[in-house]
A = this chain, B = another copy of it.
Amino acid sequence: MDRSRLEAFSDGVFAVAITLLALDLTVAGPGHGRLLHQLWMHWPAFAAYVISFFTIGIVWVNHHVLVRSITVVTRTLLFLNLVLLLFVVVIPFATGVAAEYLTAKDLTANGGSVWDPRVALALYGAVFLGMSIGFGSIFEWTLHGERVSQPVPVEKRWAARVRFVGGAGVYAIAIVVALFSPAASFVIIALVAVYYVAQRTPRTGDAGDT
């Protein structure tokens, strides 16, 4: 297995997943009230679309930076990469659920619960946490043996790991916050995307940015 086909397959999955996000954007159409009102009521869907879009985009960027220096492709790497993609692919689903429950009304009607938006946002954060852990596992894998052409120097590894734990930690916090305030959790997840977009271009030595 050479690296280029690993990249081609991963790029394909990233590209399809990021495009499927748009399937969550829907309006009920004619006969369901004013269109402007429909669009307005769906603002969380649009916000969640933008957040998920940029988060996947950032992971794709960092994935490339991390993968391009890999010199040996093992079955372990392929498995870790599949775990990462497993969470990437599930993002459109979690995005849709989060958006739907953020504006849901009459939550207790038909057996619903006021806890539902909290569960939805916790799910949203959990998928991003899983993706973050999957990416961190690939990074950790690159540190051992002679697996990359430009390995992260030993003295910088802990700094990189701390940033990883930080990234995953913020998603963990977002999950906990979701149990109290779904909106606050949503804002935290959005800020993570803003933070990584605003960062400088990653290099191999600091590839663990998500």
Contact = CB atoms under 8 A, between A and B. Distances in A.
Interface of A: 1-2, 5, 7-9, 11-23, 25-27, 29-36, 39, 49-50, 53-54, 57, 60-61, 64-65, 68, 73-75, 78-79, 82, 85-86, 89-90, 92-93, 97, 100-101, 104-107, 109-113, 115-116, 119-120, 123, 197, 199-202
A31 B112 contact: yes
B21 A89 contact: yes
- Number of copies of this chain in the oligomer? 4
Instruction: Name the prevailing secondary structure of the A interface residues.
Output: helix
Contacts of A75: 61, 199-202
A137 to B, nearest CB: 14
The 3 A-B residue pairs whose C-beta atoms are closest, nearest first, are A12-B15, A30-B104, A75-B201
